[in-house]
Structure 1
């Protein structure tokens, strides 16, 4: 798998180039949210994780990956100094809380259900009584801005399996990023059931963010590194390595 080979190459470069900063690793907060970010070192760190680690390797920075509940991670990074966080959607609610370094990828979002899919938010508001969304994710704010009630929005904690809840009809639909839904469903025990998908109803850039108090030189170095990785085609190859795992909608 290309991503595994690439990751170990990047890891070696990271270790060699980062010797000077070995005593000052940068904290990178990221959830275990496959296929966007993963904590599995053997198989890589996901579509966004691999790109950011490649950028950090390119500027010679050692990294300490921090795994915390997503809502707490966002608070800690926002109030801290020189802390990085991925994958963070740039929403109006978050705009003034972080330093936005660079967009890593665009994330399309849709409703997933076992019934006839909805065509728009208006249909979803009428049809769904309970919609599963990840706690602390941009999906919560998107639904709130679209007029969904708090009773309709069921915030799921990390570790709660939305595929299981959907299969048991404990939620009527799941509103999430398209890669995440397809990846989790294909890896679940329920993949033989017919998962139905609405059209893409929202799309936001997934960013590498930093604390509001963030070193300007670090921001510029990472911004340049991510731009170079994109121009060189490395970012696209790293992201593409995870896509064969996803079934067609």
Structure 2
């Protein structure tokens, strides 16, 4: 976790100080008491989706959860973060004013529905199989023809893969068991990311050398999404808080802590899906 002194140092830096010089003149009104009060009154929502966001001992943890908490500490935000089922999170985000939710994939379908701050998590996503699979995947046709691909139920990956004509999907309502299902032969391939696999490998004791990424979606990000009618000044204030967390090196430390990697190799890659 992060020391109190480090968080205190972040808080002492005014959030507008991280704005580029050319942007500060355009955002002088961000320092107005009303804008600051509005930013601190936002309701933050998330879901239980380890390792990106989850509750432990009453605190929101996870790669996205810790970044958002660092942003909140930088701003002096003290309201509790609410964890709800994802469908309720989306309902609140689309119906209530001044709500923000994480960790969300920014897709073309969602782009105009919300306002965006991020990325709060950076991931390398792809499709994985066991390295000793008797019939290894070598092409997109192989992926289309395996009996079952495990993918988060209702997530952006499932939606995008179905749009690409994939009919061999096995929706996982509990993605945390994806690696166990792959090991047991209940699915042939698993859609996942470096951060998700890092946790599942640790939980199951399966060696990382036994898992092979056969297809890469490339790098992508997860975001803090704000309700569409949120004051643009509020969104800018939260983005500047993230910029400060990144500039301090804290963002990189959180990503490393949760297993983000950038040196994976893969037989082939493309853009079948946008991420979680």
TM-score with structure 2 setting the length: 0.72
- Is the counterpart of residue 57 in structure 1 residue 76 in structure 2? no
Q: Which has the larger radius of gyration?
A: 2
Distance (Å, rounded) in 2 between the aligned partners of 1:99 and 1:78: 11
- 1:178 maps to 194
- 1:107 maps to 123
Deviation for aligned residue 1:35: 2.8
- 1:224 maps to 240
The residue matched to 1:39 in structure 2 has which SS?
strand
User: Does the 8 A contact of 2:198 with 2:258 survive in 1?
Assistant: no
User: Does the 8 A contact of 1:131 with 1:173 survive in 2?
Assistant: yes
Greater CA deviation, 95-104 or 193-202? 193-202
1:46/1:117 CA distance change after superposition, 3 Å = farther
Superposition CA RMSD, Å: 3.3
- Is the counterpart of residue 5 in structure 1 residue 24 in structure 2? no
Deviation for aligned residue 1:239: 2.0
- Is the counterpart of residue 73 in structure 1 residue 71 in structure 2? no
Question: 1:143 aligned to 148, 161, 164, which one?
Answer: 161
Distance (Å, rounded) in 2 between the aligned partners of 1:147 and 1:11: 50
Distance (Å, rounded) in 1 between the aligned partners of 2:110 and 2:225: 10
Deviation for aligned residue 1:155: 1.7
Deviation for aligned residue 1:36: 2.3
The residue matched to 2:123 in structure 1 has which SS?
strand
Deviation for aligned residue 1:6: 3.5
TM-score with structure 1 setting the length: 0.79
1:119/1:36 CA distance change after superposition, 3 Å = farther
After superposition, the C-alpha distances for 1:107-146 in whole angstroms (9 at most, x for unaligned) are 22111222265345443112x2211111232211231233
- Is the counterpart of residue 198 in structure 1 residue 208 in structure 2? no
Question: 1:243 aligned to 241, 259, 262, which one?
Answer: 259
The residue matched to 1:147 in structure 2 has which SS?
coil
User: Does the 8 A contact of 1:27 with 1:83 survive in 2?
Assistant: yes
Structure 2 unmatched runs, 5+: 12-35, 266-276
Deviation for aligned residue 1:180: 0.2
Deviation for aligned residue 1:176: 1.7
Deviation for aligned residue 1:225: 0.9
The residue matched to 1:201 in structure 2 has which SS?
strand
Question: 1:118 aligned to 137, 157, 166, which one?
Answer: 137
- 1:17 maps to none
Which residues in structure 2 correspond to 1:87-106 (within 5 Å)? 87-106=103-122
